[in-house]
Structure 1
Amino acid sequence: MAEDRREELAGLDHLLERIGQAPRRNERVQLGDMLTAVGQGSFGSLLLVPGVITLLPLVGDIPGVPTLMAILVLLVAGQLLLGCRTFWLPRWLLKRSVSRSKLDKAVAWMRKPARAIDRLLKPRLTWLTQRAGTCLVALFCFLIALTMPLMEVVPFSANGAGLALMMFGLSLMANDGLWALLALILTGGAVGVVIVALL
């Protein structure tokens, strides 16, 4: 359960560090533990985790992972669009897990670009990250999630969806509407690639 309230963003690098510190269970890390480690206090944070997981090499390319992340996004974005103030996630989804060794390698690989991304975030175009803007972001994230299962058969397209989700999450948490705008454009491109590839 998570309240939909805005939080200050410590940074993508800090988020990756938290994911890396999530408890291990038989050398695997459960999605619920990752969400708990990151904090489930806002819509932005609940977008960041599936976005980062789908984007990470060695993890996001595992068959089934994009579809599981799509279910998470559909549930969260759908509940936000329905006006829910708290988010409910099924236990079976929270118990899904990934290999600790793969997660550690992927997180270590992404730490350096994460620091560069953090330096680019700042409040701007805030109308895109508040109220009606947040609903627009939720709608686009819902559309992304609907196409993510199809992306499993189109190489690297799921990584593009993960990047868009991550950018949406960062934009909401950093109040940076420019990143939301860029993610909207990326969403159109990723969905377009899938449609063309499947025709």
Structure 2
Amino acid sequence: MAGETCDASEQAPPTNLAGVLERVQHAGQRQESVSLGAILDSVGRRSFAPFLLVAGLVTLAPLVGDIPGVPTLMAILVVLSSVQLLVGRDHIWLPAWLLERRVSRTRFTKATRWMERPARWVDRLLKQRLAALTRPPAHLAVALTCLLIALAMPPMEVVPFTANGAGLALTLFALALLANDGLMALLGYALTGGTLALVILNLT
């Protein structure tokens, strides 16, 4: 209907990190806490990349990713979305109990503002290149790798710095898909290998 405004979930997903942060900062406005559902709605739920990017940024974010249990919750988000992409679902479903997980507005605001400057620097590096590594069917390899990362994330909570590596790898894969930047995908694969190797070494 003319005159109606569409929410972010109906808009095209942002194509860079600064655009994601700008939308995310408006998630769940006028509320004392921010739900995961509101964060996902702010960036859109129509593609796999926003799910990866939210999981990666939340895991990386200071004051948020350091909360015990948060990496595991983000792992559940990635597992559910990756599996549904791999089996060919058009729309990604998440359970209500996960979407209702919340973080305080104060923590959330501080974390997103802290990421603004790094986001601008990262966006200057993004460009379309090696697109064959991000377009179908290569996106299935990205989804499978992210699934492996997510399955390893719960034990990462007891291995220092590995959860940060996982969060960064998820972020790189998300940016690769958003910007069709195959170099970011290659960096994500390399970081995944290094992070998983570090986890295995520390747990054996």
TM-score category by the smaller chain?
A: over 0.9
TM-score of the two chains, using structure 2 as the length reference: 0.91
* Residue in structure 1 matched with residue 27 of structure 2 by the alignment: 22
Shift of 1:10: 3.8
1:165 aligned partner, one-letter code: L
TM-score of the two chains, using structure 1 as the length reference: 0.93
Gaps in structure 1 of 5+ consecutive residues: 1-6
* Residue in structure 2 matched with residue 87 of structure 1 by the alignment: 92
1-side partners of 2:121 and 2:169: how far apart?
17
* Residue in structure 2 matched with residue 42 of structure 1 by the alignment: 47
- Bigger Cα Rg: 2
1-side partners of 2:137 and 2:31: how far apart?
43
In the alignment, is the contact (CA less than 8 A) between 2:64 and 2:70 conserved in 1? yes
Gaps in structure 2 of 5+ consecutive residues: 1-11
2-side partners of 1:72 and 1:86: how far apart?
14
Question: Deviating runs (4+, > 6 A) in structure 1?
Answer: none
Question: Percent identity, aligned pairs only?
Answer: 58
Matched residues, number: 193
User: How large is the RMSD of aligned CA atoms in angstroms?
Assistant: 1.3
Shift of 1:8: 5.9
Choose between structure 1 and 2 for higher RCO, CA contacts under 8 A separated by at least 6 residues.
1
Shift of 1:61: 1.0
Encode CA deviations 1:60-118: one digit per residue, 9 max, x unaligned: 11100000000000000001111111111111100001111111111111100100101
In the alignment, is the contact (CA less than 8 A) between 1:9 and 1:174 conserved in 2? no
2-side partners of 1:73 and 1:119: how far apart?
27
Q: Secondary structure at the match of 1:85?
A: coil
